[in-house]
Structures are given as C-alpha cells and as structure tokens.
Amino acid sequence: MSTSAPAFEAPTAAHKPWYRVLYVQVLIAIVLGALLGWLDPTLAKNDWVKAMGDGFVSLIKMVIAPIIFCTVVSGIAHINEAKKVGRVGLKALVYFEIVSTFALVLGLIVANLLQPGAGFSGKPDAAAVAGFAKQAGEMKSVDFVLHIIPDSVVGAFARGDILQVLLFSILFGFSLMALGERGHTVRSMIDDMAHAMFGVIAIVVRAAPIGAFGAMAYTIGRYGPQALGNLAGLIATFYLTALLFVVIVLGLIARMAGFSIFKFISYIKDELLIVLGTSSSESALPQMMEKLERLGCSKSVVGLVVPTGYSFNLDGTNIYMTLATLFIAQALNVPLTFGEQMTILLVAMLTSKGASGITGAGFITLAATLAAVRPELLPGMAIVLGIDKFMSECRALTNLTGNGVACVVVAWWEGELDRDKLEKGLNRVVDPTDIETAVTTG
C-alpha cells in the first residue's frame, strides 16, 4: 500500500461517535448474541442466526487468496535482489520455531504445575473422536509437503489454500522480479488490484457486528451457558497460559523490538474482537495485513511473514496441544515420564505445522500428537471435545497476536520498520479503525 503522508491523516478516534467505532459495535454484538443464546436457545440455534456468523467468515475468506497473491507478488516484485526474499523468509522461520518452542514449553510447565486434569471423574466416549483420530492418522509429513504443491493454480485459489497460494505467489513474484522493467505494467496492475481488494475488505468489515452476533448467539444456544462451566479448570488454565504467553513471552520480545505489547494489542483490538466473535483468525487476516503496513512494516515483510505465520506460527495451537495432552493424561491417570513429555514437545513441533486449512485444526493436530506418543490417550479426547469450541477462540486470538508481533519483529530485524509510523500508530495519533481513509488515499 502507498505510504504517502495523506494516508496517515485520518481523524482520531476522539472525533468519531462511539457508536460508529467498529470494535464498540462488535463488542455490543457479542454481548447481545450471548444474551440471545442464553434467553432463547431455540431461536439462537436457527439456521439463519448461524448463517450470520458463517456468512461473514465466508465473505472474508473469499478475498484472502487474491489479497495474499497481490501482497506477496507486489512485495517480491518490488525488491531488487532475490537474496533479500530468502533472507526475510529464513528470519521469519527461525523466529517462528523459537517462539513456537516457548509456547509448547509453557503449556507443559503450566500443566505440570496446576494439574488441571487430576481427580477427573467420568468415562469418555471413544466414538466421539473417531473421525478426528482418523484424520490425524492420515497426517504424514510427506503428505503435508506434497499438499503445498497445488494440482492447479486455479484449484488453489478456488479452495483458498493459503500455503498453495503462497507457493505460487512466491514463484510468480520471482518471475516478475526477473522481468525487470518489462514487468512494470503487470506490477502496476497487481498493485491496483491490491488497493481494490482492500477496498472490498473495507466494505465487508462493516458487517463484522452482524457476523459476531450470529456466531456468538449460535455458540451459546448450541452448547448452553452451562457448557462454560464444564471442565472450567481446563478452560481457565488454558486462558491463563495464553495470557502469560502474550504478556511475558511476546511482551519481552516486543520490548526488545522497542514497542509495548499492550499498546500493540490496543492497536489491533478491532481484529481481536472480530476473531472473538467468529472464532476464526482468518476473518481478520486482510485487515491485519493492512494495519501492519500502516504501522510501519514494509510491504514485502508483511506479504511474506503474515501468510506464512498462519501455517507456521500457531502459538495458541501450540499451547493448547501440550496443555491438553497432559490434561488428558492426568484425567485418564496415565503418568507421562519426562522423556515422554519431551517427545510430545518434539512431535507437537511437527504436527502443529500441518494444521493449516483443516477444519478443527487444533483438535486434529492434538489427535496426531497423541497417536504418535501414547495412542491409548486418544479416547480421552472426548473429554475435551465438548469445550474445544470455547478454547478455539483463545487459540485464534493468541495466533493472531503472535503473528502480528512476529511481523513487526521481523521488519525490525530486517531494518524495514518505520519507527515514526510505529509510534504514531501505537500512540493513537491516527485512528487505526479508519480503513477507508488508507484505501482511498493510498
């Protein structure tokens, strides 16, 4: 996106009526949706109410593939040297692996200290997780690598497979970069397409309150408010662990990069609330990329780091996998030795990388981890099946925050972080909710 000065002259949030601020609208919608699900579960479970949430997520997903394509291709094509792309990608992968390891280790530590599954009574239904366990058994490293290569470019875009689109975008970007001046016309067209796609997002995002209302109403209506009390220890432990990870681990990383994690969370609160309402981190991907560019991260870094992070930097999923594994072992009274827990750590580092684009990814990768380490724990997955929906929201929130921090850190590491824009954005000198201003003036 253009970095010309007019794009950063949006009116401040103080000049916008509170009822027009997106995060306020989404927050109100979440509360109203929860009330509807509690007071009238029958109405809340209506297909039309469910369709509000599903429809909004679908609207966002329909433009994710073209936005990733335009952003990645444009970012690479405008780089003068190919080695820079490889350097940024390598730095991103090193960062992802280090931070993911911290997330996995933190989950193990908290689970061992708090013992959330100790004293659990009840017999799990093994049949309830048969489908997930079957999918987990089919998840092999070779299949995952081959899946990155699309059968056809059109098919990759039609399915919205992020990794496949990312692979083609990188190849196309390198090809366009090699053309030099001859590729100027195509580069300009792709840049204009990116502006148009973000314009579509600026329109679609106005429906976020409707999507959040429908998704929250259906969730509470379907599972009931009492579901929040079932296995409350595991839910509370998971949320506490995710909070510790964001505040301590990401907080220290952010401080090293020269910014405050709390100011960053405030900057992306719109996207976090959209994720909270829809339980999908993908629903905030396009706006997140736009905001990170306006925060001072270069287009090339945003285009490479954020889409890649959605497959390789799943901090929330990593915490969930180690914490839930130990919870199930404790609930079924199956002691795990230190060596077995280290094996869980290593296996989870691999299985978590294959979660992209799979429905119920966190649950399926948990099954893959259990199957590889202690298959007798697989029936215990039925224990957490009923509350997985409530933990999926925290997974998505943590994943989104982690990917945002990763992008800023890699941009800083690469020397492509505009400190002036970073300070203005985090200190609320400009209004980060005003997406249209950046689109129309960019």
The radius of gyration of the chain's CA atoms, rounded to the nearest angstrom, is 22
C-alpha to C-alpha distances, 243 to 236, 252, 275, 374, nearest whole angstrom: 10, 13, 16, 28
CA distance 282 to 60: 8
- Structure confidence at residue 356 (pLDDT): 47
pLDDT at res. 49: 87
Average pLDDT over residues 251-270: 92
Residue 358 predicted with pLDDT over 60? no
pTM score of the predicted model = 0.67
SS3 297: strand
Rounded CA-CA distance 316/438 in Å is 30
Mean pLDDT of 333-362: 69
pLDDT per residue over 282-300, tens digit each?
778 888 888 999 999 988 8
Give the model confidence (pLDDT) of 201-242 as tens digits. Answer: 778 878 888 888 888 788 778 766 654 554 577 888 899 999
Q: Give the whole-angstrom CA distance, residue 406 versus residue 92.
A: 8
Strand partners, 297: 417
- CB neighbour list of residue 356: distance below 8 Å, 6 or more residues apart: 161, 162, 163, 310, 311
Q: What is the pLDDT of residue 167?
A: 84
Q: Are 413 and 91 in contact (CB under 8 A)?
A: yes
- Residue 320 has a CB neighbour count (10 Å cut-off) of 30
Report how far residue 206's alpha carbon sits from residue 209's, in angstroms, rounded to the nearest whole number.
7
Q: Kindly report, residue by residue over 28-63, the tens digit of the pLDDT.
A: 888 898 889 888 888 888 888 888 888 887 787 787
pLDDT in tens, 314-330: 888 889 888 888 888 88
DSSP 333: T
Tell me what pLDDT residue 310 has: 75
410-440 confidence digits (pLDDT tens): 999 988 899 999 998 888 765 555 544 444 4
How many angstroms separate the Cα of 101 from the Cα of each of 105, 342, 397? Answer: 6, 11, 18
Q: Identity (one letter) of the amino acid at 233? A: G
pLDDT of residue 341: 87
For 2-29, letters b (16+ CB in 10 Å) and e give: eeeeebbebeeeeebeeeebbbbbbbeb
d(CA 328, CA 337): 14
Residue 427: phi and psi, rounded to 5, are -95, 10
- What is the rounded average pLDDT of the residues 183-208? 83
Q: If pLDDT is split at 50, 70 and 90, which confidence band does 405 have? A: very high
Residue with the two structure tokens 């800023």: 408
Distance CA 374, CA 377 (A): 6
Highest-confidence segment of 11-15, 41-45, 163-167: 41-45
In this structure, of 122-126, 144-148, 214-218, 405-409, the range with the lowest mean pLDDT score is: 122-126
pLDDT above 70: percentage of residues in the chain: 75
Q: Which of 107-111, 115-119, 173-177 has the highest mean pLDDT?
A: 107-111
Top-confidence residue, 121 or 180 = 180
The stretch 129-146 carries a mean pLDDT of 57
What domains are there in the chain, each with its CATH number?
5-441 (1.10.3860.10)
Whole-number average pLDDT of the chain: 77
Q: Among residues of the chain, what percentage have pLDDT more than 90?
A: 15
Tokens representing residue 259 in the block:
């910014």
What confidence score (pLDDT) does residue 337 get?
A: 83
Average pLDDT over residues 383-390: 65
